[in-house]
Amino acid sequence: MDLYEHQARELFKDHGIPVPDAAVVDHPREARHAAELLGGRVVVKAQVKTGGRGKAGGVRLAADPAAAELATRQMLGMDIKGHTVRRVMLARPVDIDAEFYVSYVLDRAAGRFLAIASSEGGMDIEEVAATRPEAVVRIPVDPAEGVPHAKAAEIAAAAGLPAEAAGTLRGLWQVLVREDALLVEVNPLVRTTDGELLALDGKVTLDDNARFRRSRWGDKHGDPVTDPAADPLEEAAAAKGLTYVKLDGQVGVIGNGAGLVMSTLDVVAGCGARPANFLDIGGGASAQVMADGLDVVLADTDVRSVLVNVFGGITACDAVAEGIVQALDSVRLTKPLVVRLDGNNAAQGRAILDARAHPLVEQVTTMDGAARRAAELATT
């Protein structure tokens, strides 16, 4: 689960990483009051779970409380890369002498973490990493060893960070471990003209598998908290136990296995249409799972066709087909459904769908052909 910037900065504060004073609001009048309390001049930052806010107009400097109110009014409701701004954070501005980048990320293939750091942080860190990779250091971290002072000093020295950044690196490691995070990132970590190190922006991704022991993910009573900025379709899918991500296209995509679904998204895009979602039903495709998946995808008003792409393995294609048939009895299909079955018992599965003969369901035997047909249905 990705956190918003204001949530990440609260974790940073809890673990001794300095951050500027700030307040979160969801109404322009609240922004004026918050700016007054913060000293008048503030930075107004849209709270969305995506990067590139600054270049999209989601980060602005307001000279006084009236300007902060106006900037907030203009930002609320703004679309930034498909994310609607429903809250903004107002932060006290600082005078910056230098910007740095620091993060820890899980390296699943190697079974360890990577410390990634650079003396050139800021909005263009991706360009720096692409054009001058030598400016970004990547240092393995043994989870058993962690990041004691010596390791933090090693990372800071290798990246050309100030020596005092070792304290920030140790604090970030504590956030990663104690909060069950998969990624922690500060960009930029700044040195002010007064010589103070501050985390100006942060990103934290928490491990959903550890949710059962993270009481802070709910309210003070431990009850789940509804995120007013969360996508309702993603929330509905999560409630059904589905792995779903809302995208901005017209072709709904359902598949079994994250790799297959990702490949399907690419093929759909290559056929001239945009995927409307990522939906992985996993290794099993029972009638209930298929019904839940179709229900979520069809609830997206942007969807004009649905592509089900399944490769039968442990779960055979005939079982998948039976699930689709039963799902069609419980879900009102209103958009054309293209199905591609391959692998274990594919022929039997296709026969089951042929026998059902639903007027809005058609089968295509290849992945490319199915994606092309779904794209045609969505764009004509």
CA distance 136 to 116: 7
Q: Of the listed 179, 185, 244, 322, which one is catalytic?
A: 185
Can you say how many angstroms the Cα of residue 169 is from the centroid of all Cα atoms in its chain? 23
State how far the alpha carbon of 336 is from the alpha carbons of 116, 305, 373, in Å: 46, 5, 10
Compute the distance between CA of residue 309 and CA of residue 255 in angstroms, rounded to an integer.
5
Tokens of 199: 């985390």
For residue 159, give the amino acid letter: A
Rg (alpha carbons) of the chain, rounded to whole number: 24
Q: Which residue has the tokens 């409701």?
A: 77
376 is catalytic: no
- Any catalytic annotation for residue 164? no
- Which of 101, 104, 120, 322 is catalytic? The answer is 101
- Positive or negative CA dihedral for 269, 275, 278, 280? negative
Give the tokens for residue 322. 């039976």
β-strands 337-343, 361-363: how paired? parallel
For residue 190, how many other CB atoms are within 10 A of its CB? 23
Contact status, residue 101 vs residue 187, Cβ threshold 8 Å: yes
How far apart CA 160 and CA 156 sit, in angstroms, is 6
The residues annotated as belonging to the active site are 101, 185
